[in-house]
Amino acid sequence: MTKQLIGITFLIIITGGISGGQYSESGFDYQAIMLNNPALAGAEGDGSLRLSFINHYPGQGYKLFSGRMSYDSYFPSLHGGVGIFVSNDYLGGIINDLQGGFSYAYYFRAGRDVFISAGLSASVWHRGYNFSSAVLPEQIDPAGNIVFPGSETVSQNGSYMLDLGTGFLFMTERIFWGISVNHLTEPDVDYSGDQAGKTGRKLLVHAGGDFHISREKEFRIRPLVKGEITKDYFSAGAGAVLEMANLSLSTVLLGDGERNTDLQAGFALNTPGMKLFYNYRFNIATGKNLLPFSLLHHVGIVLGLNSVDKRRVIKTINYPAL
């Protein structure tokens, strides 16, 4: 019973935070970063289909899962990149966030070795509820027992909301950096009609590099930094990816405004036309003594579906393999 009550309390806090405008934040997820910065649509040139799955707080039975699917490519006739994406966050069997949309990024040359892309995204966001198996605070009696059914009736109606985002990407020979603002429409995910229930605008800044560390150019290191802020939430991180011909190893240190410090490590297997990757994140220190040690498992695949002649079209970047 004690373990069950702890789990219920944790889910109340997590789902309550999400309802108030938080996110199932997955950190350095460059294989789905187009969802956060539309200027990255087509940034690799080649058309790529990206699929990933995240299991949040594995082994705890909280049933917090996230799925991502996207496709993007550079199209010379449009002078830019186009992408489509779908994401689904399944939160404890109570909340389900389904979002789908598209992005467009216009690319232009701003100098001898400087390229810029400006992107816009539009999506439809649906939040659905299922309280059939939920335990509300008023159902827990003073002795710690759960009383069924509860006296409170909670509406399970959902609705659809329009969400917009914009971003910029700057690319040089060895470095790229970007900035984006998401949730420009501040969708009311709680349908409360007041400011407290709206999803706040999210500012994201990120940067990365690409440096060879051997004369034969068999090894290269990819330093990465990222920071994001929305309402009362802030997170930042830094790390690096060591890439070889067919194998990549990554490590990233993350922290947020609630004094949580996490470490993420992973690897990727690279073959022509396909990339498999896996990341594992664990908590080093927590400000509220609430987070479990294991935070997430992240697995995915990237498939190259068509090729663009990068050298003759536009400056492109390679997403870090993590």
- pLDDT, tens digit, 9 for 90 and up, residues 276-291: 999 999 999 988 767 7
Please list, in sequence order, all residues whose beta carbon lies within 8 angstroms of the beta carbon of residue 239, skipping any fewer than 6 positions away. Answer: 28, 223, 224, 250, 251, 252, 253, 264
Please list, in sequence order, all residues whose beta carbon lies within 8 angstroms of the beta carbon of residue 36, skipping any fewer than 6 positions away. Answer: 165, 167, 180, 182, 202, 204, 228
Interatomic CA distance for residues 67 and 298, integer angstroms: 10
Q: 69 and 50 in contact (C-beta within 8 Å)?
A: yes
* Structure-block tokens of residue 249: 């190893």
Average of per-residue pLDDT across 182-207:
81
pTM of the entire predicted model: 0.80
Predicted local distance difference test score (pLDDT) of residue 39: 94
Predicted local distance difference test score (pLDDT) of residue 145: 61
CA distances from 273 to 46, 118, 246, 270 (A): 10, 27, 12, 8
- The domains found in the chain, sorted by start residue, are 2-313 (2.40.160.40)
pLDDT band at residue 122 under the 50/70/90 scheme = very high
- pLDDT, tens digit, 9 for 90 and up, residues 163-189: 999 999 999 888 999 999 999 998 887
First-to-last CA distance in the chain?
39
Predicted local distance difference test score (pLDDT) of residue 1: 47
User: What's the CA angle centered on 310, arms 309 and 315, to 5 degrees?
Assistant: 160
Q: 263 and 237 in contact (C-beta within 8 Å)?
A: no
pLDDT band at residue 264 under the 50/70/90 scheme = very high
pLDDT band at residue 86 under the 50/70/90 scheme = very high
pLDDT band at residue 247 under the 50/70/90 scheme = very high
* Structure-block tokens of residue 265: 């490590």
Neighbours of 125 (CB within 10 A): 20
Residue 143 has pLDDT above 90, yes or no: no
Average of per-residue pLDDT across 116-128:
92
Where helices occur in the chain by DSSP H, the ranges are 2-19, 310-313
Interatomic CA distance for residues 70 and 292, integer angstroms: 30
DSSP string, 38-74: GGGTTTTSSEEEEEEEEEESTTS---EEEEEEEEEEE
Q: 250 and 240 in contact (C-beta within 8 Å)?
A: yes
Q: 185 and 162 in contact (C-beta within 8 Å)?
A: yes
